[in-house]
Amino acid sequence: MSDNKVYRASTTAPVNIAVVKYWGKRDVELNLPTNSSISVTLSQADLRTLTTASCSASYPDGDSLMLNGELSDVSGARTQACFRELRARRAVLEASNASLPKLSTLPLKIVSENNFPTAAGLASSAAGFAALVQAIANLYELTDSPSELSLIARQGSGSACRSLFGGYVAWRMGNKEDGSDSMADLVAPASHWPNMRALILVASASKKGVSSTSGMQQTVATSGLFQRRITQIVPANMDLMEEAIKAKDFAKFAEVTMRDSNSFHACCADTYPPIFYMNDVSRAAIRAVESINTKAGKPIAAYTFDAGPNCVVYYLEEDAPAVLGGFAGVLGGISGWNENGADVKSGAKLEDGVA
Ligand code: ADP
Ligand code: DP6
Ligand code: CO
């Protein structure tokens, strides 16, 4: 390139919170999971990543990533894999059309911001890498489908492959050695179950002590319970969850969601040395959901916790008074809830279309 023109594209990406959790890698290099998973994509009105990707011959220091206002390392294998794969796809377009500018060889500058706590168990790596991949795909004017882009996002962070879709999304673990069938697909759009809502309880916005990447590798290496989870519990939960979503059966959806979260955290506790992501506030949230459901005589609220203390509660719009009222009563009495920086976002809708 002879000129110093700056090419730029921006996008936002939503968070997704799994109801059948990914936890464990069978191939660390390709970021292939030990089990399939299903998630619900939340509305970008509540939690989202905003990412701008640009490239220019005038960028002197190679590729860079600014995350939440701070320069972040891009030399890690996972970020490098995303850059490499996206550049390769752009290079194919450039080879077939000589009039396209040669963007694939220019340094990339990524500027990204999360409007919610980073590395706190609210899926920042999912929204973050989905936005990174989508922003560069937009910059390069790639025509790849969301499933094809999910193959790339997966290499940045596993959960990110599901944030390329709105609604109810499955990440199929696949069985090919090269990972070419380990990608996300749409189980149902958000409009399929339009009254689904999420309550997000931020018990702590602090960075977690053990990252998801490192925590799951410790679990794979040391937990016996984990073997039962990936061979029996998750395959059964995947089937039940897909049935529940298709039939819009909230009671079944809720039970599988809570059981799967419990099973995942039990495997964390069975890791040696044990990993504890939940805290006293998290356990109070579980008790609040139990009391709401007991009072209702059926499950009308479902808690789930990722690798962090923060709670997401799924419920249906028509049950909002009982669910939100139940939380106001129980959590209001917990000392330290507010001092811990607790924040409650209620009524979050689901995301239907992404980027
Ligand atoms: P979380 O529970 O928030 O997903 P993880 O431990 O899985 O936590 O991942 C956190 C890491 O994800 C961050 O330390 C950072 O490396 C990466 N990440 C988070 N947000 C972004 C973003 N917007 N762009 C690129 N990478 C991000
Ligand atoms: C508990 O996708 O963050 O949130 O692939 O190493 O980046 P890496 O891990 P990540 O793990 C997510 C774990 C989870 C469950 C889930 O989202 O399915
Ligand atoms: Co993550």
**Residue of 23, 159, 312 with the most ligand 2 atoms within 8 Å of its CB, for mutation:** 159
Show the ligand 2 pocket: residues with CB < 6 angstroms. Answer: 18, 21-23, 31, 37, 123, 125, 157-159, 212-213, 306-307
Cα distances from 279 to residues 6, 71, 305, 341, in angstroms, run 47, 31, 11, 14
The lowest-confidence range among 91-95, 231-235, 244-248, 334-338 is: 334-338
* Closest-lying ligand 1 atom to the alpha carbon of residue 156: 26
From ligand 2's centre to the CA of 121, what distance in Å? 9
Cα(6) to ligand 3 centroid in Å equals 31
Side-chain half-sphere CA neighbours of 162 within 13 A: 31
pLDDT of residue 60: 85
For the cut 60, the answer to whether the pLDDT of residue 211 exceeds it is yes
Q: How far apart are CA 43 and CA 350, in angstroms?
A: 5
> Does residue 5 contact residue 35 with C-beta atoms inside 8 Å?
no
Pocket (CB within 6 angstroms of ligand 1) = 49, 67, 112, 114, 118-126, 128-129, 132, 157, 211-212, 306-308
Of 59-73, 148-162, 168-182, 327-341, which gets the smallest average pLDDT? 327-341
Report pTM: 0.94
Widest CA span of the chain, in angstroms? 70
pLDDT value at 25 more than 90: yes
At 194-203, the pLDDT tens digits run 999 999 888 8
**Amino acid at position 237, single letter:** N
**How far is it, in rounded angstroms, from Cα 328 to Cα 312?**
15
Residues 107-154: pLDDT tens digits? 999 999 999 899 999 999 999 999 999 999 999 999 999 999 999 999
Expressed in angstroms and rounded, the spacing between residue 159 Cα and the centre of ligand 2 is 5
136-150, 175-189, 315-329 — which is least confidently predicted? 315-329
- Find all residues with CB under 8 Å of 109, minimum gap 6, and list them: 53, 54, 55, 56, 59, 63, 64, 66
Atom nearest to 33 CA in ligand 2? 5
